[in-house]
Amino acid sequence: MARDVRDCAIMLEAMAGFDAKDATSLDLPVPNWEAGLSGDLKGKRVGIPKEYRVDTMPPEIEALWQQGIEWLKDAGAEIVEVSLPHTKYALPAYYIIAPAEASSNLARYDGVRYGLRDLPEGAGLQDMYAATRAAGFGDEVKRRIMIGTYVLSAGFYDAYFTQASKVRTLIARDFEQAWATCDVLLTPTAPSAAFALGEKSADPIAMYLNDVFTVPSSLAGLPAMSVPGGLDGQGLPLGLQIIGKALDEQSVLNAGLAIEQRAGFTARAERWW
Amino acid sequence: MTDTKYTIRGETGDWEVVVGLEVHAQITTNAKLFSGAATAFGAEPNTQVSLVDAAMPGMLPVPNRECIRQAVRTGMAIEAQINRWSRFDRKNYFYADLPQGYQISQLYHPLVGEGAIDISLDEKNPDAHGKRIGVERIHVEQDAGKLMHDQHPTRSYVDLNRSGVALMEIVSKPDMTSPAEAGAYLRKLRSILRYVGSCDGNMEEGSMRADVNVSVRKPGEPLGTRTETKNVNSVRFVMAVVEQEARRQVEVLEDGGRIVQETRLYDPDRNETRSMRSKEDAHDYRYFPDPDLLPLELDEAFLAECRASLPELPDTKRRRYEALGITPYAAAVLTAEVEAARWFDALLDCGAAPVAAANWTTSELFGALNRTGKDIENAPVSPTQAAELLGLIADGTLSSTLAKQVFEIMLETGQGAAAVVEEHGLKQTSDTGEIERVIAEVMAANEDKVADYRGGKDKLFGFFVGQTMKAMGGKANPGVVNEVLKKMLG
């Protein structure tokens, strides 16, 4: 979203706030996050969730995570180990709930009012829907619409969507319990370095697996940020993730700043695209 | 209970009918359920459509508090469980009149739970012929748009004015067993909605429509398979659907067929129902909680405000009228429609005697309205004017005959009762001297009849009363006439 933590605070401040036309938005004052920025973490406790230590994680990422722990210690934080026992269910739950919502959210792209309309000769309404949506959506979108439609279907709803919703509640509860002993969590952003565009299109599961560390905070509705921490052997950037309590963006930004100040990450892609 | 049980006589014996109604009632509000667009009936197509109603990308629904308030008040009026925690779900299906590709409704956690509506099958004696019909639930949902097929030879147009308008779906239990009960339920529900002010109940304009669920069974047997006849838009049609559909089902079953669970449509011109689609090709609506909306949580203050704003409801009002000495029939007639009840309450507030006022309103006023084709909201006589007229009857100034004449003139001229009496000299005469003089004239002109009467033909008394009243232009006080006649005829 931004080149550094300060820009991120500025951007967030500009975007945040109550929206009367969004029933899910909170009517709360927007904090002055930029003014509150401080890389000094004295008195803060940083949780390290043990379930994020997955077997297949490359040693480089493991090492960066350890490095991150040292940086935050250096910034004055106390490190504690925490447990988020339902972590392994987060990815499957996410890939049920998100496609379910997407399948419904995208129903409005039906060729009736706006956007693409593909109306083959002699087509009826159903044919127009099929042709328009087949032509207009890409493979990954179609895949998610089909998954979402499937998990909401009669006979499958309870087994998939209801179950995933319960998992979501348990994940949120995991975080709640973690906040009893820490203020923010530190994890790797992804279990592997960035892959090339289109590289994993043929293997969507592998692609989805890359989200394993970032979906739990999304399911729980918590603020999280990824800060670049270093490069792997191929020169690809690796990130560290900070997850905070609901509405405690300040602590997330501050821990991110502490990492940024120590990582000295200056790598720039030759071309940003 | 009904005195005579409604059954369908088949070749194999009598069949019972089981009816449940799902009523869609448009909530009376200025704005739609999730947008600020207007809801007035009869506007030019697509003039009352917000970006939300047209499902433009990125638009989000925001619940209209007034719609929720009206649904809660409706629930309270039928003594239903109000759920302090409810949630909106999406009902997903593709159709050209449904811009979002889903309808926001409530399946899993409706706003209003179980309640009941007391119906009456005999308005002459409502309490003796009453029945309690259970209501399963009331939930709140969006209406869809409207397809227009008659605007262009090869294209269909879409009018989104109705898209997003708030509806209550009021689901009865399968507690009705005859066309009459279904009709009485719908009329009573409509009356309650109009008292509460949550729906105008206008079935012609589509503000209220019913899905009619019908099944038949032999007495004592479990429920049969039901069919659902959609969007029936009058009380009469609902009753016709119950009757026709029950007959059709009995015929099918007695011919050895079976009833398939299906959606049907009613054709009023041919008075029959027709299959629309069967369960096999029914939609899978893929209901799930709408992620754009938080659960509805109602606090005590909101509920208290809803409760405090409820008017006196038809049954309570009817019993209050009965307690004033008004006959059950008149009380039922006066309370059936909220406008009539409001008018009559105003009349009582003007100090009119309840029983006389009720009799006069139900016979004279309603008669005049019927004759002139006016509804009570546009009654040509105000409650104040009516109270004045009733006062003149009560104090003996007007006989009932004279009162009718005065009322006719009031209807024509819009004048007050006292002014009419004054101007047309319609005052009743109780002047004994005047009456004696007229009676003497009548007796002199009918000496033979006087002789007959005195000879024992008592029935001639009425003849003398009539002659006297006629001679006095109907203005004589009938009580005084009777008294004086008796004395003079001896």
Rounded to a whole number, what is the distance in Å from the CA of B67 to chain A's nearest CA? 15
Instruction: State which residue of chain B sits closest to A20, comparing Cα positions.
Output: B62
Nearest Cβ partner for A22 among B54, B60, B94: B60
Query: Do A72 and A259 meet the contact criterion of CB atoms below 8 Å apart?
Result: yes
As to burial, measured by CB atoms within 10 angstroms (0-12 exposed, 13-18 middle, 19+ buried), residue B320 is middle
Q: Which of residues 153-182 of B touch A (CB under 8 A)?
A: 158
Q: Is A108 within 8 Å of B101 when comparing Cβ atoms?
A: yes
Is the pLDDT assigned to residue B486 strictly greater than 90?
Answer: no
Q: Could you tell me which residue, B70 or A56, shows the higher pLDDT?
A: B70
* Cβ–Cβ under 8 Å, residues B397 and B475: no
State mean pLDDT over B289-315: 95
Selecting from A20, A22, A108 the residue whose C-beta is nearest the C-beta of B100 gives A108
- Which of B242, B243, B223, B228 is CA-nearest to residue B171? B228
What CA–CA distances, in Å, run from B407 to A183, A271, B278, B316, B419? 84, 94, 59, 31, 11
Rounded to a whole number of angstroms, the distance from the CA of B96 to the nearest CA of chain A is 7
Task: Read off the pLDDT of residues A101-150 as tens digits, 9 standing for 90 and up.
Answer: 999 999 999 999 899 999 898 889 989 999 999 999 999 999 899 999 99
Question: What per-residue string of b and e applies to A243-265 under the rule 16 or more CB within 10 Å gives b?
Answer: bbbeebbbbbbbbbbbbbebbeb
Q: What is the pLDDT of residue B277?
A: 62
Contact assignment for A153 to B286 by CB distance below 8 Å: yes
CA distance B253 to B471: 72
Per-residue H/E/C for chain A: CCCCHHHHHHHHHHHCCCCCCCCCCCCCCCCCCCCCCCCCCCCCEEEEEHHHCCCCCCHHHHHHHHHHHHHHHHCCCEEEEECCCCHHHHHHHHHHHHHHHHHHHHHHCCCCCCCCCCCCCCCCHHHHHHHHHHHHCCHHHHHHHHHHHHHHCCCCHHHHHHHHHHHHHHHHHHHHHHCCCCCEEEEECCCCCCCCCCCCCCCHHHHHHCCCCCHHHHHHCCCEEEEEEEECCCCCEEEEEEEECCCCHHHHHHHHHHHHHHHCCCCCCCCCC
The pLDDT of residue B283: 66
Q: Is the Cβ of B281 closer than 8 Å to some Cβ of chain A? A: no
Angle among Cα A216, A219, A223 to the nearest 5 degrees reads 75
Q: B132: left (phi > 0), else alpha (psi -120 to 50), else beta?
A: beta
As a three-state string, the secondary structure of B9-20 is EECCEEEEEEEE
CA neighbor of B228 nearest in space, from B274, B188, B180: B274
> CA end-to-end span of chain A, whole Å?
14
pLDDT band with cut points at 50, 70 and 90 for residue A270: low
Mutate to test the interface with A, among B286, B290, B293, B296 (most CBs of A within 10 A): B286
pLDDT digits (tens, 9 = 90+) for A199-248: 778 888 888 988 999 999 999 999 999 999 998 888 889 999 999 999 99
B101 has a chain A CB within 8 A of its CB: yes
Looking at chain A, which residue has its C-alpha nearest residue B54?
A113
| CA–CA gap between residue A142 and residue B174 (Å, rounded) | 43
Query: How many angstroms away from the CA of A172 is the closest CA of chain B?
Result: 17
Cα B360-B365-B371 angle, rounded to 5 deg: 140
pLDDT, position B250: 96
Rg of chain B taking only CA atoms, in angstroms:
30
Please write the tens of the pLDDT for every residue from B320-348: 999 999 999 899 999 998 989 989 999 99
A112: which chain B residues are within 8 Å (Cβ-Cβ)? 96, 99, 158
**Structure letter (DSSP) for residue B109:** S
Taking CB atoms and an 8 Å limit, are B92 and A24 in contact across chains?
no
Using an 8 Å CB-CB cutoff, list chain B residues near A106.
101
How many angstroms separate the CA of residue B93 from the nearest CA in chain A? 8
Fill in the amino acid letter for B312: E
Q: Is the pLDDT of residue B430 over 90?
A: no
CA dist B137 and B107 (Å) reads 10
Task: Band the pLDDT of B96: cuts 50, 70, 90.
Answer: very high
Substitution target from A18, A26, A110 for chain B, most B beta carbons within 10 A: A110
Backbone angles phi, psi at A28, to 5 degrees: -130, 155
Please name the residues between 39 and 68 in chain B that touch chain A, using a CB distance below 8 Å: 54-57, 59-63
Helix (H, G, I), strand (E, B) or coil at B381: coil
Give pLDDT, residue B181: 96
CB pairs under 8 A between A and B: 66
Cβ of residue B128 closer than 8 Å to a chain A Cβ: no
The mean per-residue pLDDT over the stretch A257-272 comes to 83
- pLDDT-derived band at B3 (thresholds 50, 70, 90) equals very low
What gap in Å lies between CA B237 and CA B266, rounded to an integer? 8
pLDDT over 90, % of chain B: 58
Is the model's pLDDT at A268 over the cut of 70?
A: no
B287 contacts A157? CB cut-off 8 A:
yes
Give SS3 for B232: strand
Residues of B in contact with A20 (CB under 8 A): 62
Cβ–Cβ < 8 Å for B38, B280: no
Across the interface, whether the CB atoms of A152 and B294 are under 8 A apart is answered: no
The answer to whether residue B445 scores a pLDDT higher than 70 is yes
> Of A178, A269, A264, A273, whose CA–CA distance to A227 is shortest?
A264
B99 contacts chain A (CB < 8 A):
yes
Q: Measured between alpha carbons, how far is B216 from B290 in angstroms, rounded to an integer?
A: 37
User: Is the pLDDT confidence value at B392 over 70?
Assistant: yes
> Reduced to 3 states, what is the DSSP secondary structure of residue B266?
strand
B88 in reach of chain A (CB within 8 A)? no
Chain B CB contacts of A22 under 8 Å are 60, 62
pLDDT at B179: 96
Q: What is the pLDDT of residue B45?
A: 95
Instruction: Sort residue A264 into left (φ over 0), alpha (ψ -120 to 50) or beta.
Output: left
The single-letter code of the amino acid at A256 is G
Nearest CA in chain B to A152: B286
Three-state secondary structure call for residue B230: strand
In this prediction, residue A25 carries a pLDDT of: 93
3-state secondary structure of B453: helix
Which carries the bigger pLDDT value, residue B377 or residue B373? B373
Residue B281 has a pLDDT of 55
Farthest-apart Cα atoms in chain A, separation: 71
Check pLDDT > 80 for residue B118. Answer: yes
Q: Looking at the complex, does the CB of residue B282 fall below 8 Å from at least one CB of chain A?
A: no
Task: Name the pairing type of β-strands A78-82 and A45-49.
Answer: parallel
Q: Give which of A129, A152, A163 to mutate to test B binding, by max B Cβ within 10 Å.
A: A152
Task: Say yes or no for a CB contact (<8 Å) between A107 and B287.
Answer: no
B282 contacts: CB under 8 Å, gap ≥ 6? B263
